[in-house]
Amino acid sequence: ESHGLPIECDYGEEESLRVTKKRAEMAMEIATPQFLVGFKCPADAAGEELFRQSLVGERACDILLGDSSPLYMRLYDEGLINGSFGGDFDQLPGAAYLYAGGECKEPERVARAIMDEAARLGREGVDETFYQQIRRANFGASLRSLGSFENVAVGMADGCFRGFDPYRFPEVYDSITKADIEAFLQENVVEERRAISRLTPKSEAGA
């Protein structure tokens, strides 16, 4: 039985790691200033390596920005961020990026702190106890997701379209090392790959 010709997707030219616009700002009807900072990451992986890159990026994000990370606690204690702050790693066809944002009156200061902490972790290394804590939490979250029909369906579809087996996550998890995380942060969370967007209240912009 014929199901028709395969559909070829054309996503245009390969995404460059060069940032074309470093800053953007817009005034909106909001009560508190908000920001989003993003860092371009390589997007040339495919198949299981793409899956592995996703897990490396997510774990690196939790270590750098998670609500139990030293950076998060320090910025929170200094009043630079609040509970709205968060970040993640995401992949699109031909593009990958780590991002963070939330309500903030000093986004440049927070963005600089994120880059400084990434450089420190790459240089000095991630604390082993904290690394193992995040590693176990990530693996536990993946196991729990198997109890959700929606998560299983999304994972199977994602693996089918991107060429990997989502049920190999235990083996892929075991292949990731602390050095992988440190190298990811040191190479990607840097000024030349950064772009920042800020939303300000219209009342501020007109003041």
Q: Which residues of the chain have pLDDT under 50?
A: 1-2
pLDDT in tens, 168-204: 999 999 999 999 999 999 999 999 999 999 999 987 6
Closest CA to 11 of 100, 93, 66, 96: 93
Q: 13: exposed, middle or buried (C-beta count within 10 Å: 0-12, 13-18, 19+)?
A: exposed
Write the CB contacts of 32 (distance below 8 Å, at least 6 apart in sequence): 103, 105, 201
Query: Two tokens at 169?
Result: 């996550």
Q: How much is the pLDDT for 172?
A: 94
Residue type, 121: L
Q: How much is the pLDDT for 200?
A: 93
